[in-house]
Chain A
Amino acid sequence: MNDIYQQYKGVGIRKICFILGLAATLMLIAMLSITQGASSLGFFNSFKALFAQGGVARGIVLELRLPRIVMAVLVGWGLGLAGSVFQAILKNPLASPYTLGIASSAGFGAVVAIIFGGINYAQYVIAGSAFFFALMASFIILGIARYKSTTPETMILAGIAVMFLFSALSSFLQYMGTMEQVHEIVFWFFGSLSKVGWQEIIVAAAMILLPVPVLLKWSWDLNLLAAGDESARALGVNVARIRMGGVIFGSLITAAAICFTGVIGFIGLVSPHIARMLIGSDHWFLLPASGLIGAILVLTADTIGRTMWAPQMIPIGIVTSFIGVPFFFYLLMKKKKEYW
C-alpha cells in the first residue's frame, strides 16, 4: 500500500549512491594526481614511494604532492559546502562564500600583513591576518543584521558595502607599497596551493571539518528556509538563529579555506549549483555533494595547473575559472529545472 513510501526511499538511496560515486571519483583523481608532477617519477613508482623508507621520491610525494592534494580537497570541500550554506541562508543564487565581503576583507588582511610585516613576512602572519579580517567582515554583517533585521536583503547589501570598503582599503595600502610588496599581494590574490605543509593542513582541516556535523543537523532547517521565513518559523525553525549560525560557520570555513591559499574564486558559487542540478535541493544530500564537487573541481584544476607547463605553475585561482566556467555554462544550457 505504501508504494510512494517505497519510491521515495528509492530516490534517497539513489542520492546516497550518487554521493558515494562522487567520493570515489575524488579518490580516483587524487590517486591520478599523486603520480603527476614536475619530476617524472612514473605512475607506479609514485605509489611505491608512498610506502618507501625514505628517499628522494618519498620526499617528493609525501612533502610536495600529497599536502597539495589534501589541501586542494579541503579547500574545495570547504568552499563548496560554505557556498551552499550561504545560498540557502541568503536565499540567493548569486551568494557564495565571498558574498558578505569575506574575500576582499581576507585580502585586506593579507595586504596588511605583507605591507607591515616587514620584508621577511612569515606565512603564518599573512594567513592569520587574512583569517582575522575574513571573520571581521562577517561580524560586521551580523552586527548590522542584529541591529536592523536578519533578512537576506539587508545582509547582502551590507556585504556588498563591506566588500567595497575593504577593496578600497587594500588598494590604498597597495598604492603605498613597494614593487615587491605589490607583487606578493597580486600573487596572494591569484591563490596558490604551493606553500602548504602538513601543519597548515591540520589547522585548516579542524576549522573546515568541525562545523560539518552542525550544518548537517541544520540541513532540515536550511530546506525549510526555502518555504519562506514565515512558514519556517511556524514550523518551529528559529530563522534568525539559523541565519546567524550559517553566517558564522560559513565564514569560519571560508576563512580557514582561503587564509593559507589566497582567494580561489568561483568554486563556492558553482559547486552548489552543479550539485543542485545533479541531486536536488535537500541540504542533507546537497551539502556533502556540493563539498565533494568543490573538492573535485579544485583538485582537478590544481593538478592541471601544476602539470600542464611543469615546472611552471599556473595559479589555482586562474585555472579553476578556466575549467569551471565552461563546465558551468554547459550545465546551465542543459538544465531542465529552475531552482531560483
Chain B
Amino acid sequence: MLSVEDLFFGYKNTAILENIKIHLRRGEFLSIVGPNGTGKTTLLKCIAGVVKPGRGKIFIDELDAARMSRLDHARRVAYVPQNSPAKFPISVFDAVLMGRRPYIAWRPSENDLKAVADILKSMDLEEFALRDFDRLSGGQQQKVLLARAVAQDSDYLLLDEPTSNLDLKHQMEVLEMISAMVGTKRVGAMLAMHDLNLASRFSDRMVMLKSGQIFSSGTPRQVMTIENIRSVYGVEAVISQTNGHPYILPTGPAKAAV
C-alpha cells in the first residue's frame, strides 16, 4: 500500500497542498480530480519523489519514501508527467527502454531488450518501434510513455492527466490499458484527471481536491454529487448514471455564492 500522511507542500507563505491523507492499494484505480490549480500535479510530483514535500510522510509498502534511494524508489513507483518534452529525438524502442533505467548498471541486458520488445508488442506499438518518438501523434506518444512506465515494472503508477490532448478513441485506449494493468498486474494507479466523467467511468475511488485540501473522497458515486460539484467547481450540474457509473452534465454557473 502507498500511503500519504498529512502531506504539506508550499512556497514560503502560500500553501499548495495541506493535510493530504491518501491511501492507494495495489489493484486499485484512484483518480485525483479538482479544478485547475488545486495541486493535483504537485501531489503526484511529491509522491513520485520529483519534488520534496514540506511536511508529512509518504510510505511505500510501509517504507518511508524519504529514506529510499532514488533507484529503489523508481523500482516501486513510476511517474508519467503531463508534458513530454517538445523535442525528444529518440526511437520509440529507446524511449521505452528508458523505463528499465532503475535496473540497468552500464548497458541494458538482453532481458531488458526482450522485455521492451514484448511490451511494445502487447501494446500494439510494434510498427512504431524504430520510428522516432517525435514523429508520433499525441495519442501514440502517450501510449509510448505509458509503455515506458510499464517497462519500469513498478507496483504503483502515477499519471498526470494522461488523456489531455487525446481524441476520444485514444482516451479510451489509454485508460483501458491502465485499467488492464490494475486488473491483471495488480498495479495501484493514481491519475490526476480533468475529465470527471472519464474519471468516474474507470475509477474505483476518487479524491476531490479544493484549493490544496481534500474536499471529498470515496467511490465515484459518493464524490460526484451535485453539492460537491457546486462547491468545488462553482457549477450547477445534473448527475445521471450509465452502466452504474455516475456522470455529470454541467448546466450553468452556480447560482448561490460559494
Contact = CB atoms under 8 A, between A and B. Distances in A.
A8 interface: yes
Given A4-B129, A235-B152, A238-B70, A227 B50 contact: no
Contacts of A276: 89
A9 B87 contact: no
Given A233-B50, A281-B90, A284-B107, A227 B74 contact: no
Contact of B130 (A7, A282, A340): A7
B253 to A, nearest CB: 35
Given A4-B120, A236-B74, A223 B90 contact: yes
B89 A281 contact: yes
B94 A223 contact: yes
Given A8-B113, A226-B90, A233-B70, A337 B98 contact: no
B109 to A, nearest CB: 12
B129 A228 contact: no
A339 B89 CA distance: 6
A234 B49 contact: yes
A216 to B, nearest CB: 8
B170 to A, nearest CB: 20
Interface string B114-155: 100110110000100110101000000000000000001000
B81 interface: yes
Contacts of A7: 129-130
A223 B70 contact: no
Given A4-B126, A5-B117, A235-B99, A227 B85 contact: yes
A234 B89 contact: no
Contacts of B126: 4
Contacts of A230: 45, 48, 50, 79, 81
Given A235-B74, A337-B132, A4 B117 contact: yes
Contacts of B106: 216-217, 220
B117 A234 contact: no
Nearest to B70: A236
Question: How large, as a class, is the contact surface on chain B?
Answer: 35 or more
Contacts of A4: 93, 117, 120-121, 126, 129-130
B234 interface: no
Interface residues of A, number: 34
B102 to A, nearest CB: 4
A8 B130 contact: yes
A2 interface: yes
B88 interface: yes
Contacts of A45: none
A277 to B, nearest CB: 11
A39 interface: no
B84 interface: yes
A9 B90 CA distance: 15
B73 interface: yes
A64 to B, nearest CB: 40
A231 interface: yes
Contacts of A226: 85, 88-90
Interface string B142-180: 000000000010000000000000000000000000000
Interface in B157-205: none
A224 interface: yes
Contacts of A235: 74, 98-99, 101-102, 152
Nearest to B145: A231
Nearest to B125: A4
A11 interface: yes
B208 interface: no
Given A9-B113, A282-B94, A337-B132, A236 B102 contact: yes
A215 to B, nearest CB: 12
Given A7-B130, A228-B85, A234-B79, 5 more contacts: A4-B93, A9-B113, A235-B152, A284-B107, A339-B87
Interface of A: 1-2, 4-5, 7-9, 11, 216-217, 220-221, 223-224, 226-228, 230-231, 233-238, 276, 280-282, 284, 337-340
